[in-house]
């Protein structure tokens, strides 16, 4: 599948970078450097890292990823469940485009921001995510026993 994906990316003008293992299969793409694995390019650039197994993939994502959105393409249910459970991102997907990671798509209304922190808001942030709560308790000498 990789050669077919690469051909499609190249036809769309995407710059590809790959690890040594990737470049043995696709020698015409640029060599990836260590910084490529954690770079958000904001441009049509894609770095490809071939790993030996799901453990290595999850480890790579959790170490280098943005913790925003990650997706797996698989027909294996147990691998999909492991990916969903073990990848530490605010949105994890199976057989779906990461472009679905959007506040409006999640039913949050207009997306006001994005957070990769785990505390207060995580992931796409709608208006409600920017608010806090205040609890008011009115009593007349009430106690809790």
R_g (Cα) of the chain, nearest Å: 21
Least confident of 4-8, 13-17, 122-126: 122-126
Q: If you search the block for the tokens 């798509």, which residue do you land on? A: 105
From the CB of residue 2, how many other CB atoms can be counted at a distance below 10 Å?
12
Q: Is residue 99 part of a domain?
A: no
Would residue 142 count as lying in a domain?
A: no
Quote the domain boundaries for residue 24: 1-50
For 24-73, the pLDDT digits (tens) are 999 999 999 999 999 999 999 999 999 999 999 999 999 999 888 899 88
Count of domains forming the chain: 1
Helices (runs of H) and strands (runs of E) counted in the chain: 4, 7
On whether residue 103 sits in a domain, the answer given is no
Express as a percent the part of the chain with pLDDT over 70.
86
């Amino acid at each position: 599948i990789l050669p077919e994906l690469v051909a499609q990316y190249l036809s769309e003008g995407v710059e590809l970078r790959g690890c040594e293992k990737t470049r043995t299969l696709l020698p015409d793409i640029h060599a990836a450097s260590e910084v490529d694995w954690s770079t958000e390019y904001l441009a049509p650039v894609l770095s490809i890292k071939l790993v030996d197994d799901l453990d290595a993939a999850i480890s790579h994502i959790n170490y280098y990823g943005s913790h925003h959105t990650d997706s797996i393409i698989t027909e294996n249910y147990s691998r999909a469940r492991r990916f969903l459970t073990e990848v530490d991102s605010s949105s994890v997907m199976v057989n779906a485009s990461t472009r679905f990671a959007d506040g409006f798509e999640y039913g949050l209304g207009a997306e006001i921001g994005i957070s990769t922190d785990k505390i207060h808001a995580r992931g796409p942030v709608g208006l409600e995510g920017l608010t806090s709560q205040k609890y008011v308790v009115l009593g007349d000498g009430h106690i809790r026993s």
